């Protein structure tokens, strides 16, 4: 189930609730409708579980989940169960405070933070600049990338910085090869949709 589908369902259920419960369901639905339409699991990856939550809203979601499961609507009930993972900590928060807290992106694990300390930022910028200079030609890009892979001593942390800048994400890669592979995949996907990049028609 996707976020916007669940948002529509919550808005529908809000129509049979009292004013306060209805308002909370509408607010959660609006939160789910923000941004791209993702699966619930994918959306949860960009959120942070709460330290405090609104008890009445959690009770409403639990009741809807139970009703859906009893009626045989297993997938929607699973989606409701997944969303309730955000309701961590203890009860007592307002809906506003709860939604503000869960909207924060998850923090990098300490191990990942320590690993980034070993990155060579200036080398990462140099590698990125070299790649950016040949992005208009597919063959030149792959040739230059191969040269940089073999000629530089950059490790996982440095190549991760290059991938983050090149792709525009903040992902931590498990090793050097994974970061390089991500760069290749992103470039190849972009080049297939960009008619200004040379060499595509021969691919």
pLDDT in tens, 50-80: 889 999 999 999 999 998 888 888 988 999 9
Supply the pLDDT for residue 201. Answer: 37
Please report, for the chain, the start and end positions of each structural domain, with discontinuous segments joined by +.
3-102, 110-192
Distance CA 152, CA 15 (A): 61
**Confidence tier at 193 by pLDDT (50, 70, 90):** low
Quick one: CA dihedral 44, 47, 49, 54, positive or negative? negative
pTM: 0.51
**Confidence tier at 115 by pLDDT (50, 70, 90):** low
**Confidence tier at 25 by pLDDT (50, 70, 90):** very high
Supply the pLDDT for residue 200. Answer: 39
Give 41-87 as a DSSP string: HHHHTTS---SEE-HHHHHHHHHHHHHHHHTT-HHHHHHHHHHGGG-
- pLDDT over 70, % of the chain: 89
pLDDT in tens, 28-56: 999 999 888 888 888 888 888 888 999 99
Supply the pLDDT for residue 111. Answer: 45
Quick one: CA dihedral 7, 13, 15, 18, positive or negative? negative
């Amino acid at each position: 189930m996707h976020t916007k589908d669940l948002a529509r369902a919550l808005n529908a259920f809000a129509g049979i609730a009292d004013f306060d419960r209805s308002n909370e369901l509408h607010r959660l639905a609006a939160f789910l409708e923000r941004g791209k339409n993702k699966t619930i699991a994918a959306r949860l990856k960009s959120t942070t579980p709460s330290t405090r939550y609104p008890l009445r809203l959690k009770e409403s979601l639990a009741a809807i989940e139970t009703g859906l499961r009893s009626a045989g609507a297993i997938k929607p009930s699973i989606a409701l169960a997944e969303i309730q993972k955000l309701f961590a900590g203890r009860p007592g928060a307002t809906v506003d405070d709860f939604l503000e807290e869960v909207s924060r992106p998850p923090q990098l694990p300490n191990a990942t933070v320590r690993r980034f300390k070993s990155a060579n930022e200036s080398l990462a910028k140099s590698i990125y600049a070299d790649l950016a200079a040949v992005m208009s030609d597919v063959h030149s890009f792959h040739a230059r990338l191969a040269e940089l892979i073999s000629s530089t001593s950059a490790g996982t942390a440095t190549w991760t910085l290059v991938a983050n800048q090149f792709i525009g994400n903040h992902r931590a890669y498990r090793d050097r090869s994974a970061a390089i592979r991500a760069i290749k995949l992103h470039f190849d996907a972009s080049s297939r949709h960009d008619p200004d990049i040379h060499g595509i028609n021969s691919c």
